[in-house]
């Protein structure tokens, strides 16, 4: 294909995308293919000769599409959303067409300067004070890794990268048991080791870290000669939306001189609505905060905003040329590749800019408020339905429930079976989790195009399939 052919196929792709989205409600949300079916339909060996674009396109529709789960489906109630507003898809199309590698300011000044601007727009949008500076990372996992590396280097007086961890005291990092697995992985990759990630017990309906237990754990570690490095708090944990009391965590961190990272990967998008900000009160005192506009907000994956109170700590940890630090900021040039683990950088700021402008904060707030209202209504309705009980009440738009009809012995197996049957039915898609050991059904409303009728359909499907 050359760029002249591209004109034709690009138009067809745009039509295909619009048709795909117009017909999404008619498709099962979760792919209904058997394991291995797509693989078996693909030739074992690569083609030697060029194939016609029409043949490739036909196979894409016939072989690939049936094996896709539709994350943009309005009745996607599983995991967390990965919303891609049409305007952000369009921005990604331009980014693909330009295909610039935006690692340094001079490799595309507009990409760097737009990133600076939209990160600051996002900072204002979620109500973080102007002492924070933002950068776009590929994912929350990467941002958390950056934060863990920074807390490691800071605790080791910047010697870890140079001398390694051998011979150093054991570094300790603290979090609750509700944090995302990306925290564990960051700890592994940073060489700190899982045994040194200390899980603080949680308490209360928000399933928040017990600040007193946190203080005790730090004191015990210091007495044992270990080196506390930082605390990772979460706002909106993945399982049931657990949210730490950030202010209480910050009191401990400040008293102990520890670096703090707040993981608000999902819930952070909701902070564009001032009424939800109580959920992360105290966040303005954190060193590092991550939230994903690629989840609820609608900036096509991948687009993570990472806010830092002192980016110098991060750059000192990750910049490969320490002398660069001396000019950092002074000449007005920022090289964002020194703020993240990969050197190469996609132009991710463009879709965020398109999204915020095309919908306005008002439009995005309305979407989030609707989802929260509808999820609360569904939770209340299920709770009043015979045989159903809400297990964790809505944290924003996320709650868990259980079907516990009389006479069922193994409720875990019964609920897993119900989840499986719901997903095989295809009208909606949701997942399970465990709360205090018990298997529960997890529901979140967050699809960009969801309506209150879609959430009502969820009620109908759940109760219909649960009926004996």
Contact status: 101 vs ligand PLP (CB under 6 A): no
Cα–Cα distance, 132 to 271 (Å, whole number):
15
Residue 458: C-alpha distances to residues 20, 132, 145, 241, 405 (Å):
22, 40, 37, 20, 19
Nearest to ligand PLP of 160, 293 (CB atom): 293
- Residue of 63, 139, 161, 385 that binds ligand PLP (CB under 6 A): 139
CB of 236 to ligand PLP, least distance (A): 6
Tokens standing for residue 274: 């001032």
Q: Considering only the C-alpha atoms of the chain, give the largest distance between any 2 of them, rounded to a whole number of Å.
A: 72
Contact status: 80 vs ligand PLP (CB under 6 A): yes
By CB under 6 A, which span of 133-141, 222-230, 242-250, 347-355 interacts with ligand PLP? 133-141
Cβ atoms of residues 350 and 109 within 8 Å: no
303 in helix, strand or coil?
coil
Query: How big is the chain by its Cα radius of gyration, in Å?
Result: 24
Angle between helices 349-383 and 109-125 (to 10 degrees): 30
Contact status: 314 vs ligand PLP (CB under 6 A): no
Nearest to ligand PLP of 139, 376 (CB atom): 139
Cβ atoms of residues 156 and 171 within 8 Å: yes
Residue 94: C-alpha distances to residues 84, 197, 348 (Å):
15, 42, 11
Q: Which of 468, 296, 268, 451 is nearest to 377 (CA)?
A: 451
Contact status: 69 vs ligand PLP (CB under 6 A): no
By CB under 6 A, which span of 259-267, 275-283, 328-336, 438-446 interacts with ligand PLP? 259-267
Contact status: 141 vs ligand PLP (CB under 6 A): yes
Nearest to ligand PLP of 122, 461 (CB atom): 122
Contact status: 83 vs ligand PLP (CB under 6 A): no
- Residue of 243, 292, 337, 397 that binds ligand PLP (CB under 6 A): 292
Nearest to ligand PLP of 104, 122 (CB atom): 122
Burial letters for 99-124: b for 16+ Cβ neighbours within 10 Å, e otherwise?
eeebbbbeebeebbebbbebbbbbbe
CB of 49 to ligand PLP, least distance (A): 39
Strand partners, 202: 209
Nearest to ligand PLP of 139, 168 (CB atom): 139
Cβ atoms of residues 68 and 60 within 8 Å: no
CB of 143 to ligand PLP, least distance (A): 8
Nearest to ligand PLP of 150, 304 (CB atom): 304
Cβ atoms of residues 150 and 314 within 8 Å: yes
Cα–Cα distance, 106 to 127 (Å, whole number):
31
> 205-244 mask for ligand PLP (x: CB under 6 A)?
-----------------------------x-xxx------
CB of 290 to ligand PLP, least distance (A): 8
Strand partners, 439: 434
> 48-67 mask for ligand PLP (x: CB under 6 A)?
--------------------
Nearest to ligand PLP of 143, 229 (CB atom): 143
Contact status: 372 vs ligand PLP (CB under 6 A): no
Contact status: 300 vs ligand PLP (CB under 6 A): no
Nearest to ligand PLP of 265, 350 (CB atom): 265
Q: What is the size of the binding site for ligand PLP (CB under 6 A)?
A: 15
Q: Which of 74, 101, 125 is nearest to 429 (CA)?
A: 74
Contact status: 182 vs ligand PLP (CB under 6 A): yes
Cβ atoms of residues 265 and 237 within 8 Å: no
Cα–Cα distance, 24 to 203 (Å, whole number):
41
Cα–Cα distance, 140 to 302 (Å, whole number):
9
CB of 144 to ligand PLP, least distance (A): 7
Q: What residues make contact with ligand PLP under the rule CB under 6 A?
A: 80, 139-141, 180, 182, 234, 236-238, 263, 265-266, 292, 304
């Amino acid at each position: 294909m050359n760029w002249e052919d591209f004109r034709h196929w690009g138009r067809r792709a745009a039509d295909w995308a619009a048709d795909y989205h117009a017909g999404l409600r008619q498709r099962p949300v979760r792919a209904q293919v058997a394991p291995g079916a797509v693989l078996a339909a693909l030739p074992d060996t690569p083609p030697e000769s060029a194939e016609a674009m029409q043949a490739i396109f036909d196979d894409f529709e016939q072989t690939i599409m049936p094996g896709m789960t539709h994350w943009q489906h309005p009745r996607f109630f599983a995991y967390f959303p990965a919303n891609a507003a049409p305007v952000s898809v369009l921005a990604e199309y331009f980014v693909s067409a330009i295909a610039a590698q935006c690692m340094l300011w001079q490799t595309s000044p507009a990409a760097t300067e737009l990133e600076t601007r939209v990160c600051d727009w996002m900072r204002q949008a979620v109500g973080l004070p102007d002492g924070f500076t933002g950068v776009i990372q590929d994912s929350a996992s990467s941002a958390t890794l950056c934060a863990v590396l920074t807390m490691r280097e800071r605790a080791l007086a910047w010697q870890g990268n140079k001398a390694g961890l051998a011979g150093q005291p054991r570094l300790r990092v603290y979090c609750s048991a509700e944090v995302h697995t990306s925290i564990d992985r960051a700890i592994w990759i940073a060489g700190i080791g899982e045994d040194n990630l200390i899980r603080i017990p949680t308490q209360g309906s928000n399933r928040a870290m017990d600040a007193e237990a946190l203080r005790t754990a730090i004191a015990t570690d210091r007495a044992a000669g270990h080196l506390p490095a930082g605390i990772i708090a979460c706002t909106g944990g993945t399982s049931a939306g657990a949210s730490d009391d950030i202010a209480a965590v910050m009191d401990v961190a400040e008293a102990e001189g520890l670096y703090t990272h707040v993981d608000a990967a999902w819930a952070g998008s909701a902070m564009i609505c001032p009424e939800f900000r109580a959920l992360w009160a105290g966040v303005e005192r954190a060193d590092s905060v991550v939230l994903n506009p690629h989840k609820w907000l609608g900036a096509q994956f991948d687009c993570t905003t990472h806010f830092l109170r002192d980016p110098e700590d991060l750059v000192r940890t990750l910049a490969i040329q320490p002398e660069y630090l001396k000019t950092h900021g002074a000449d007005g040039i920022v090289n964002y590749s020194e703020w993240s683990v990969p050197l190469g950088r996609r132009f991710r700021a463009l879709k965020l800019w398109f999204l915020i402008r095309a919908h306005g904060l008002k439009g995005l707030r309305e979407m989030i408020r609707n989802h929260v209202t509808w999820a609360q209504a569904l939770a209340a309705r299920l709770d009043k339905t015979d045989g159903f009980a809400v297990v964790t009440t809505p944290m924003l738009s996320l709650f868990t429930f259980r079907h516990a009809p009389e006479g069922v012995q193994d409720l875990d197996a019964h609920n897993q079976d119900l989840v499986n049957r719901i997903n095989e039915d295809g009208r909606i898609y949701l997942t399970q989790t465990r709360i205090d050991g018990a298997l529960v059904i997890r529901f979140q409303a967050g699809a960009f195009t969801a309506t209150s009728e879609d959430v009502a359909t969820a009620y109908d499907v759940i109760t219909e399939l649960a009926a004996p």
